[in-house]
Structure 1
Amino acid sequence: MLFAINSKAEENNIKYYSEDSGILSLMYHRFDENKYPSTNIRMDIFKEQMSIIDTLNYKFYDPQYLQKKFNIAKNNKEILITIDDAFLSFYKIAWPYLKSKKIPFILFVSTEAVGKNGYMSWEQIQEIEKQPFAYIGNHSHSHGYLVDLETENFISDINTSIEIFNQHLGYNPIFFSYPFGEYSKTIKDFISKNFTFAFGQHSGVIDVNKDPHELPRFPINEKYGDLERFKFLVNLSPLQYKSLSPEDKYITDNNPPKLSVEFFENQKNIKKINCFSDEGNKWDKSNITFNKNIMELNFREKFTFRRGRVNCSLNDNGIWRWFGVQFSVNQN
């Protein structure tokens, strides 16, 4: 089976600037559960968003091609739909629509919640998984804050989920989604040995130079799902970079961290970039400096518990490019 577990994820060694139109991934959770506005989308708005994608002549990306063609630049941008948590509202409300349109997607499942009140059952997950355009992803067992766990407890959580997927699907998915988009280098290293691709919750567009275990997604909900913003998002293009430091996105005693981004020497207009960050729990323009093709962000103050974010955009001769970074912040 194509989506059987990979014991060793393939390293991404492209690292050259490419005319890659990219894959823009959208993240959804609940549907028509209006009392949860931070994770909910109204179904009528969701349908309008899908219509916008069609109107703009963007195709929906089939996740199987991540494995087959990740290192190949895309001539035309495509849109990847992902849904986290396997809430019952997805099955009842969104699934019939996606099925009728045959829109490809990944459904990320936390195994502990399956069958509980408000969540899908294994029978429903298996029904969806049988469709050739529907793919299942691993979202851990507990859906806990993985960075808060001792290493052995984190490993136990993931191994438990793998065992349950093998029991109910006959395989462990090659796709993983970090709960809350949080991970440390230790977590990422373990995930990379058990999954081919892993998605966070930092914004951006996937291109051939992105780390396959730190893939970006734009979260869509009632607060950030209005149609004008949606049109802007789906038109974004990749903002590529050669490397990003620090590799570990978990902040402990290094708050604020030193963030540097190395761009490719032949990238145009790169010094026109603008970044905004939310250190001190207040969004403001970041203080950036350039040393040739290396950009350094000098944060104003410490990031507050529990997450810190940086978003950078570039108007590249009328093409808007974007990437984001999310840090997880230790409480101590």
Structure 2
Amino acid sequence: MKYRLLAALCYCLHMTSFATVILQYHHVSVTTPASTSISPEQFSLHMQYLEDNNFTVIALSTLMESIKQQKTLPNKSVVITFDDAYLDILTNGKPILDKHNFPFTIFINPSIVNRKSNHYLSWQQLKTMADDGVIIANHGMTHDSLTRIPEGMTQQAWLAKNTETLLSAEEMIADNTGQSWRYFAYPYGEYSPAIQQWVQENNFVAFTQQSGAVGLNTDITTIPRFPVSQPYDQLSSLRDKLNALPFSISLEGKNQETVFQQGESTSVSFNVDVDDFDPEQLHCYISGLGRQKIQWQGDEIFTIDYSAPLPTGRVRCNCTAPSLSEPGRYYWYSKPWFILKENNLWYPL
């Protein structure tokens, strides 16, 4: 452990960070469900905070091109995204974004747009926004979770069916907006290693709903985004997220899995590829269980034996550690699990 700390102290002398934070919003409204909403007033405060504190808001395509070419972006870069194509993004959100000249992305479900609901953006509105520089990207044809394979269907058949619908959704977006980025946001943030491979085979990059900053080595099938709707919409919380650094952590074997039966997973191990932190200051928290005990296996692997069985539902393990080279900034990594109910039934969406 002393060797690791010494390496960290040496490494920080020549380290140049690359960190981009992607913010995930849904509604900009006070009349919609709180868990997916931020008020226009609070959203305005978020955007003003970005401007006042010299953050560089970039288009999602700029970030992806940077990763593709392995070229760094300005420090304190931020990407703004919305899920689900709600009308209030246009009526309440866009005027605030336009005031600051901030680019943004909307992930949409074409079949929901086709319903022509008064609560969702229309194709005409989306085309106008696309012509104005807004990126329109793929959230699946419908908002169905890809991990929930129907009873009696094999995983291979399920993914084959979803290949058709994903590509159809991309084609529909292209036909109606003139854009085809092959960016895909997982509905409900649910995915598995098999789905990651499927995304890659279909030449998409995919975005999740677990926390973390983005770096040049980020896995492009699980690009993290920070949810910033209620109750995580306070400026103090936003500040911590905006100052996050990408934690270069990888998973191998069973540790990559995300879907488990009740009590099936009892521990997880992480491979760490960055030295710019003191191992004694690494802390990991599992939703519903709190802070976990960390056991180092040498200098590059640490293991968590859960303090109790993982609870049912969407579970996260958030690991953070303060940077040695950039005081006030934290490495941040989030590992998701999707834990089934008893009798291997899925929890409600």
| TM-score band, normalised by shorter chain | 0.7 to 0.9
* 2: CA distance, partners of 1:269 / 1:198: 31
Structure 1 partner of 2:307: 300
The equivalences for 1:217-256 within 5 A come to 217-243=225-251, 246-252=255-261, 255-256=264-265
Point out where structure 1 has 5 or more consecutive residues left out of the alignment: 1-16
What is the DSSP-based 3-state SS (H/G/I as helix, E as strand, rest coil) of the residue aligned with 2:35? coil
- Alpha-carbon spacing, 1:211–1:272, altered in 2? closer, same or farther (3 Å): same
Alignment of 1:310 with 2:311, yes or no, is no
CA distance in 1, matches of 2:130, 2:316: 34
SS at match of 2:240: helix
Most deviating of 77-86 and 164-173: 164-173
The CA deviation string for residues 297-316 of structure 1, in whole angstroms up to 9 with x for no partner, is 11123323321110011122
1:53-97 deviation per Cα after TM superposition (whole angstroms, max 9, x unaligned): 112211102222233211223451201101000001111111222
Q: Contact (CA 8 Å) 1:109, 1:136: kept in 2 or not?
A: yes
Provide closer, same or farther for how the CA distance between residues 227 and 242 of structure 1 changes in structure 2, counting only shifts above 3 A. Answer: same
The answer to whether the aligner puts 1:34 opposite 2:31 as a matched pair is yes
Alignment correspondent of 1:148:
148
From 186, 192, 197, give the equivalent of 2:205. Answer: 197
CA contact (8 A) 1:200 1:214 kept: yes
Structure 2 unaligned residues grouped into runs of 5+: 1-13, 151-157, 345-349
Amino acid aligned to 1:248: E
Measure, in 2, the Cα distance between the counterparts of 1:270 and 1:18. 18
Q: Call closer, same or farther: CA 1:261–1:110 in 2, change over 3 Å.
A: same
Change (3 A) 1:18 1:168: farther
Equivalent of 1:329 in 322, 325, 339: 339
- 2:87 is aligned with what amino acid? L
- TM-score, normalization by structure 2: 0.82
1:209 and 2:217 correspond: yes
> 1:284 maps to what in 2?
290
User: CA RMSD for the aligned pairs?
Assistant: 2.2
> Match of 2:10?
none
Contact 2:47/2:96 (<8 A) preserved = no
Return closer, same or farther for 1:18/1:129 CA change in 2, 3 Å cut-off. farther
Return the offset for 1:206. Answer: 0.4
Find the partner of 2:40 among 43, 48, 59. Answer: 43
Contact 1:26 1:80 in 2 (8 A): yes
Give the whole-Å Cα distance in 2 for the aligned partners of 1:244 and 1:300.
22
Deviations 1:278-314 (CA, angstroms, capped at 9, x unpaired):
2xxx231112210121011111233233211100111
The question of whether the paired residues in 1 share the 8 Å contact of 2:136 and 2:173 is answered with no
Give the TM-score of the pair, scaled to structure 1: 0.86
Aligned residues: 312
Q: CA deviation at 1:19?
A: 3.3
Bigger shift: 258-267 or 32-41? 258-267
Instruction: Supply the AA of the counterpart residue of 1:200.
Output: T
> Matches of residues 1-332 of structure 1 in structure 2 within 5 Å?
19-70=16-67, 71-114=70-113, 115-132=116-133, 134-150=134-150, 151=158, 152-243=160-251, 246-252=255-261, 255-256=264-265, 258-264=267-273, 266-278=275-287, 282-292=288-298, 293-317=300-324, 318=327, 319-331=329-341, 332=344
- Report if aligned partners of 2:277, 2:322 keep a CA contact under 8 Å in 1: no
Deviates more, 1:72-81 or 1:248-257: 248-257
1:142-197 C-alpha deviation (Å, 9 max, x unpaired): 10122113424433432332342243234533211001110112222222233442
Per-residue displacement from partner, 1:86-122 (whole Å, max 9, x unpaired)?
Answer: 0011111112222343211111001111022311111
In structure 2, relative to structure 1, the CA distance for the partners of 1:77 and 1:270 (3 Å cut) is farther
Assess, with a 3 A threshold, how the Cα gap between structure 1 residues 171 and 323 changes in structure 2: closer, same or farther: same
